[in-house]
């Protein structure tokens, strides 16, 4: 098969035990939810799946949350999860479509394109009456995982600053309207709300169909993103609070054939490092 963006519950049910299929639980929850993704995985997971911790498959020395790992850090972590370069990776999360796109994006960032998202995630699997199991520890892969870093999918703080100064780029912010406008607080203490100069607000929830745990249909996506469908590769930067739901927007654009860069540090980094460049919408 080619490299699909999504696979269905029916497809995974038929193929979950096939050689070369690796299933990852890529769940993560905001601290305010008081949910612990790994504990939930230990209690309930798809059969044979392993847990992909975005907080640990990361640059853990960074001051910012779940910062993108280096190529060597990613390679070591993925090998430890038992994943080979030849594997077809299927990612799901416990919400439906929330953090799985972050894991999907990380694999593509490091050159592994044989990765897809389970449409509907864990809720869809359970709704189909399919069994779950207790989470299991991974078995390391016998050979090193080789990466090929694609810097066209990533935007650093310096690159975002440069893009704003030069113009000609679109910055899509996936946070809620209130956080973007500066009228609602950020969930992270002492972090001001607002937005980057010239950014456009597109809350990630608008591109997600919560009933299906997938993206809204293509015509709706095209309507929301019609101003960006002919954008040059790399000219769109997606951002959010900490680089997670920015990947949902990158996923939506990808399905329309548009390549975006994800600002990994997103608002947490911007508001910390560039407080002088925060804009607030007038009421």
| Res 49 pLDDT > 50 | yes
Please list the residues that pair with 155 across neighbouring strands: 263
Quote the CA–CA distance of 48 and 43 in Å, as a whole number: 13
Q: 243: how many CB neighbours lie within 10 A of its CB?
A: 29
φ and ψ at residue 261, rounded to 5 degrees: -100, 140
| Res 104 pLDDT > 80 | yes
Residue with tokens 């699909």: 4
Residue 204 Cα to chain centre, angstroms? 11
Q: What is the mean pLDDT of the chain?
A: 95
| Res 1 pLDDT > 70 | no
Of 58, 240, 244, 247, catalytic: 240
| CA dihedral of residues 226, 231, 235, 239 (deg, nearest 10) | 20
Q: Terminal CA-to-CA distance of the chain, rounded, Å?
A: 51
| 240 a catalytic residue | yes
Give the per-residue pLDDT at 283.
59
Q: Measure the CA angle with vertex 45, ends 39 and 51; round to 5°.
A: 65
Residue with tokens 């066209």: 152
Query: What domains lie within the chain, and their CATH numbers?
Result: 6-149 (3.40.250.10), 152-277 (3.40.250.10)
| Res 107 pLDDT > 60 | yes
Quote the CA–CA distance of 3 and 112 in Å, as a whole number: 10
Quote the CA–CA distance of 275 and 283 in Å, as a whole number: 20
pLDDT digits (tens, 9 = 90+) for 133-179: 999 999 999 999 999 999 999 999 999 999 999 988 999 999 999 99
């Amino acid at each position: 098969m080619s490299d699909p963006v999504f696979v269905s519950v029916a497809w995974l049910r038929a193929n979950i035990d096939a050689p070369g299929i690796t299933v990852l639980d890529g769940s993560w929850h905001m601290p305010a939810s008081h949910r612990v993704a790994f504990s939930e995985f230990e209690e309930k997971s798809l059969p044979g799946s392993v847990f992909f911790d975005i907080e640990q498959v990361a640059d853990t020395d960074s001051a910012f949350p779940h910062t993108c790992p280096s190529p060597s850090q990613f390679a070591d972590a993925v090998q430890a999860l038992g994943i080979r370069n030849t594997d077809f990776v299927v990612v799901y999360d416990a919400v439906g479509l929330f953090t799985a796109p972050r894991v999907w994006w990380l694999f593509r960032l490091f050159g592994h394109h044989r990765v897809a998202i389970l449409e509907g995630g864990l809720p869809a699997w359970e709704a189909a009456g399919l069994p779950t199991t207790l989470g299991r520890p991974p078995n390391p892969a016998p050979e090193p995982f080789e990466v090929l870093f694609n810097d066209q999918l990533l935007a650093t703080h310096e690159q975002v600053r440069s893009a704003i100064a030069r113009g000609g780029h679109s910055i899509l912010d996936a946070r809620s309207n209130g956080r973007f406008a500066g009228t609602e607080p950020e969930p992270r203490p002492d972090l001001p709300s607002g937005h980057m100069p010239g950014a456009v607000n597109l809350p990630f929830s608008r591109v997600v169909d919560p009933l299906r745990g997938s993206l809204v249909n293509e015509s709706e996506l095209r309507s929301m993103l019609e101003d960006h469908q002919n954008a040059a590769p790399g000219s769109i930067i997606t951002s959010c609070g900490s680089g997670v739901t920015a990947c949902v927007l990158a996923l939506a654009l990808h399905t329309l054939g548009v390549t975006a860069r994800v600002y990994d540090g997103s608002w947490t980094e911007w508001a910390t490092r560039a407080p002088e460049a925060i804009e607030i919408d007038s009421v």
